[in-house]
Structure formats: C-alpha cells, structure tokens
Structure 1
C-alpha cells in the first residue's frame, strides 16, 4: 500500500489519485454529453451542474483527500446512478430516448459504431458506481489510517 506523510499524517497516495482522475473523467463525460446537443435542455443543465459540483471536489481529493469532498462525490455519483437508471427504465424498455425517440446501434458516416442509448447509460452507470465505490472505500481507508496514527 502506497502511503505518504503529509502534515505529520500518513495516508494513501494512489487511491486518492485514481479517485480524483475517475471523478474528473466523469465530469468530462458529462460535459461532453451536455455539449453534444443530443439531450433536452434541462438534462444538459443538470449535467453541467453535476460537473460544476464535482470539479472542485476532484481538486480537494487530489491534493488533500478531504473526507467532505469524498462524501460529496459519493453522493453525487449515487444520485447519477439513480437518475440514469430512471432514464434507462423510464424509456419504455427501449433505452434512453433522445428527442422522444429511442436510439439504436448504428454506423455513423465515419464508419464507427455508435452505442445505443441503453448501452451508453449502462456505461455511465458503471462509471458512476465505480466512482462512488472508490470514494467510499477511500473514506474508510483514511479513517483507519487516522485511527492508527492516534
């Protein structure tokens, strides 16, 4: 286990870095989806708001492994899992709808296969679950390290 001493306290190094990078990746994905124009305005605004909340937490996790930021990231990630699950299940079983119509796997003009709305939502759900898991396990590790240093 990689640890470092910061301000007289030992703590994990790699775990916070991976958590911060994954949180930043989630922010980039949501900003990209918001900018793509494939979603309703309210959903794009919600994705931008999520990124605005999570970007400062990413910095706090990277620099200081702040427990408050980790709790906020965990809560946001779980809220996004819930929202994406509702979108996935609420589209009448046909997957995530864009502009009121279900999407399907298709080949775009560049020759690449575009993911269906359902597959894309499942990937985002997996990303958010992984983010929440990393953040919550980091909180547990930090508590254990701080308890041992007392």
Structure 2
C-alpha cells in the first residue's frame, strides 16, 4: 500500500481521527441547521452554508486517511470561529448577537452569552483535536 505525504499510515491512530472528523461533521450539520432556520439573516445563513460546504470535505479526508492539510484547515477555521464568536461576545455583548434584523430574541442576555461560550468551547475542542492529531501523526512519522 502506497502512502502519500500528509496521510496516516496503516496501523496509525483510528479513534482520534474518527472523533475529530465526527466533531467537524457535527459542527457542519449545526451550521446547516442554523442556516435553515434563517434566524441570522440571509447573508449570515448563506455564510453558514458556505462554511459547512468547506468543512464537510475536510471531515471526510480526516475520517478516511487523516490528511494533515485538512487538519490544518480545520484548525485555522476553528480558531477563526473562536475569534469571531469571542468578538461577538466581548465587543457587542451577547445582546448584540440578535437573530436577524427586526427580530426579537427570545431568552436573556445570559442565555445568549452561554450559547456563544458553548460555540467557543466546541471550536476550541475541534482545534485541539486537530492539533493533537497532527502532533501524533508527526510523532509516528506519518506526516512530514
């Protein structure tokens, strides 16, 4: 079996890449679900669909053969999402993260802050899973 640069060798970690891929796929599914609800406005819903479309191929590449390039893209996207949601939380406050123009937001500012913190936690977990998988692949010699 031929191995290309950036892919896990047979006998490499299995659970770690599968967990990482599952988290990325779940995050993509959440983006699609939120976009379908249209609570964030048309342009934000379109952006969420684009993000999901970008993330799903990476999840597949991570699931199949732990491609380091896909893991790096996932890390970059996850850290970017942490920064974006952190700015929403800190810059405008949770109340500023309203769901579409003219919509009233159900729930308190604390609920919204909790939701943003949960997203930040999920994205940090995603970045950590991807980063530790890259480290494992490098240590095992599967990635150069």
Report which structure shows greater RCO (CA 8 Å, sep ≥6).
2
TM-score by length of 1: 0.79
Aligned pair in 2 of structure 1 residues 93, 37: CA closer, same or farther (>3 Å)? Answer: closer
Aligned pair in 2 of structure 1 residues 102, 144: CA closer, same or farther (>3 Å)? Answer: farther
Q: What root-mean-square deviation, in Å, do the aligned CA atoms of Structure 1 and Structure 2 show? A: 2.4
* Alpha-carbon distance between aligned partners in 1 of 2:50 and 2:27, rounded to the nearest angstrom: 13
Q: Is 1:103 aligned with 2:98?
A: no
Structure in which a larger fraction of residues adopt strand: 1
Aligned pair in 2 of structure 1 residues 6, 13: CA closer, same or farther (>3 Å)? Answer: farther
> For 1:109-138, what per-residue CA distance to the aligned partner results, in whole angstroms no more than 9, with x for missing partners?
xxxxxx832222111111111001000110
- Equivalent residue of 1:97, what SS? coil
> For 1:90-127, what per-residue CA distance to the aligned partner results, in whole angstroms no more than 9, with x for missing partners?
33453522235673537xxxxxxxx8322221111111
* Residue-pair matches, total: 135
Unaligned runs of 5+ in 1: 107-114
Q: Does the aligned pair in 1 maintain the 2:94–2:116 contact within 8 Å?
A: no
Structure in which a larger fraction of residues adopt helix: 2
Q: Does the aligned pair in 2 maintain the 1:34–1:47 contact within 8 Å?
A: yes
* Alpha-carbon distance between aligned partners in 1 of 2:94 and 2:34, rounded to the nearest angstrom: 22
Match of 1:143 in 2: 138
Unaligned runs of 5+ in 2: 4-8
